[in-house]
Amino acid sequence: MEDVNREWLPHLHDEFVSEANGTLLDAYVVALEGWRRGLTLRWHVKDSEKFKDMKTWFVDNPGLLFSLSSDEKTHYFFRSRGDLVTNEAVEIGSDKAKTKQIFRDKGIPTPEGKFFSEAETDEQILAYAQQLGYPVVLKPTDGSFGKGVVANITSDGEMTYSIDYVRHELGYKDVIVEKYIPGEDLRLYVVNNEVVGAIKRIPPHVIGDGINSIEALIELKNEERRLSPRLSSCLIETNKELIDYVGRHGYTLNTVPEKGECVFLSERANISLGGDPVDVFDELSNKIKEIAVKALKAVPGLVHGAVDILLYKDEETNEERGYVIELNPTSQLGGILYPVKGKARDVPAAIIDYYFPETKGRRLDNEKIYFDLFDVLEPLQSRQAHVSTVTPSPQGKIHAKKYTVIGDVQDLGYHRGLRKQAFERYLHGFVVNKENGDIDVIVGGLDPEMVDDFKNAFWEDEERATVLAVEEEPYHEPLKVGFEVKADIKTLKEELEALNREIEQTTLEMKRAEVKRRKLYDSLSWKSTKPIRVLGAIFKNK
């Protein structure tokens, strides 16, 4: 197994983002940053307000569209991209052929290559690859997440196979052929002419321990990836492509690599395909960072976004050269926020600084406050509303305590009464049952006197609870806005499970009844009495 040496941002602890999986993560971390600074946060459905004019995709389900407002202005966001990025910039960034031409026109280094439209033949593509010289890369003009990209093609046979795979099996008719550049796969994030984060993406791989097979090592690595907010949705898949790749390099899934041996599982380094993000922000030269800034500036209206660069280092001269591969105006941020090695970089803060510069530094006192994403999105999911506004974030230093209440105190009505008491004192927190019959109650808010006074609430409901003692201690863990009765959630889950069991039982009984009906219909007695039933039906209808 690999050594873990990483430093994630404490205010983006994995507990804060546990409900924001996949592409929800990018929207949530930017929204959370703005909300903590006191901006009004609203979540939107498709085509709500300004979103009907913004270029978006896959937004039928809520969670990707939100707005942030101060007293003076409102900005709208799709995932990590705000409304100051123009639609024209998004269209250019999504078209690899257009961006490549812009790079050439602006003198930005990019691998030599050529665009081929659907009208051009497979033979023309093969001929160009031969002219360019192997190794080459074949990729769609409009693909994403590494789909359809075939790198390091070294022969006519591989090229012919790759063309057939990309154009005819995957259906990407418009493609680019370009020179393959060996080197490190980098992603830099630029905001307002400044690089604010950078990672190296390492292709999927495992490190041998001399005991486990490649297949077992993949599963062990996936267990590690499940612990990361970003990588939990990007597990390494043991598919035909992976099996073919390791096979071409002399391995099978049953091979047991030696201790410390690195076995790569793919040529592609995309995180979504199992690649590892490693922070390299402090290691990159100003030369490479300047290339990223120039690449983004080359597209009018692209004020922030990601730049993918291949970094080639000459072993003899130690000279480094950066080649821009593509731009991403709607980049995922998780790799920079949750690297497997190195330090996380606060890209969400940089984005909010750009859109709302007057809010810099506001969230320092409430970095452990967060909101329940599912609760906020529920009215949108159920089509009860087009916009859902999040409860404002407390602005100021949060004081919190953990109270342990001892006695006969697990009555659900008693817990709901405590929630009412918390709301009356403008406190946030939750109450949860303990196995020994006691309860833990967490409360926090801006007024320390209200937090202290809450212990009096435990003694006020003698009808539904018998309190023997109350213990208290400071609380420094994450705190969700609102007040949650955990027993309510448990009760709902139990009721749902009971309902599901009832549905399963009813379905089973219906199936049994259907079997009996069919047996009866097919039986000899049923067939023999058919004339009598038909005659009876005739008289009945007269």
Q: Kindly report the number of other CB atoms within 10 A of residue 235's CB atom.
A: 17
pLDDT of residue 539: 52
pLDDT of residue 16: 87
* Residues whose CB is less than 8 angstroms from the CB of residue 98 and which lie 6 or more positions away in sequence, other chains included: 91, 92
484 & 403 share domain: yes
- Residue 247 within a domain: no
Of 466, 488, 510, the residue that ends a domain is: 488
pLDDT of residue 116: 94
pLDDT of residue 510: 78
433 & 364 share domain: no
Q: How far apart are CA 87 and CA 301, in angstroms?
A: 8
pLDDT of residue 287: 96
- Residue 202 within a domain: no
- Residue 123 within a domain: yes
- Residue 209 within a domain: no
408 & 484 share domain: yes
> How many structural domains is the chain composed of?
3
381 & 426 share domain: no
Q: Kindly report the number of other CB atoms within 10 A of residue 198's CB atom.
A: 26
Q: Pull the structure tokens for residue 284.
A: 């990159």
Which contacts of 281-290 are long-range, i.e. CB under 8 A and separated by 24 or more positions? 281/195, 281/197, 281/198, 281/199, 281/342, 281/343, 281/345, 282/343, 284/186, 284/188, 284/195, 284/198, 285/320, 287/320, 287/322, 288/186, 288/188, 288/320, 288/322, 289/188, 289/195, 289/198
pLDDT of residue 4: 61
Boundaries of domain holding 73: 5-84+346-389
Q: Kindly report the number of other CB atoms within 10 A of residue 105's CB atom.
A: 9
Ordered per-residue pLDDT tens for the chain, 542 residues:
455 678 999 999 888 898 888 889 999 999 999 999 999 999 999 999 999 999 999 999 999 999 999 999 999 999 999 999 999 999 999 888 899 999 999 999 999 999 999 999 999 999 999 999 999 999 998 766 667 888 889 999 999 999 999 999 999 999 999 999 999 999 999 999 999 999 999 999 999 999 999 999 999 999 999 999 999 989 999 998 899 999 999 999 999 999 999 999 998 898 989 999 999 999 999 999 999 999 999 999 999 999 999 999 887 788 899 999 999 999 999 999 999 999 999 999 999 999 999 999 887 777 889 999 999 999 999 999 999 999 999 998 999 999 999 999 999 999 999 999 999 999 999 999 999 999 999 999 999 999 999 999 999 999 999 999 999 999 999 999 999 997 655 555 555 666 666 777 777 777 777 667 666 666 655 556 665 555 555 555 55
The answer to whether 34 touches 246, Cβ cutoff 8 Å, is no
117 & 168 share domain: yes
Q: How far apart are CA 490 and CA 309, in angstroms?
A: 49
- Residue 50 within a domain: yes
144 exposure class (CB count in 10 Å sphere: 0-12, 13-18, 19+):
middle
Of 389, 417, 440, the residue that ends a domain is: 389
29 & 79 share domain: yes
pLDDT of residue 365: 74
Of 179, 207, 229, the residue that ends a domain is: 179
pLDDT of residue 190: 98
The CATH number for 465's domain is: 3.30.70.100
Which residue type occupies 20? A
- Residue 128 within a domain: yes
- Residue 267 within a domain: no
425 & 354 share domain: no
The answer to whether 242 touches 235, Cβ cutoff 8 Å, is no
478 & 456 share domain: yes
pLDDT of residue 6: 86
385 & 403 share domain: no
DSSP 3-state assignment of 183? coil
- Residue 188 within a domain: no
pLDDT of residue 542: 52
80 & 155 share domain: no
pLDDT of residue 167: 95
Q: How far apart are CA 132 and CA 310, in angstroms?
A: 19
Q: What angle do CA 329, 334, 337 make, to 5 degrees?
A: 110
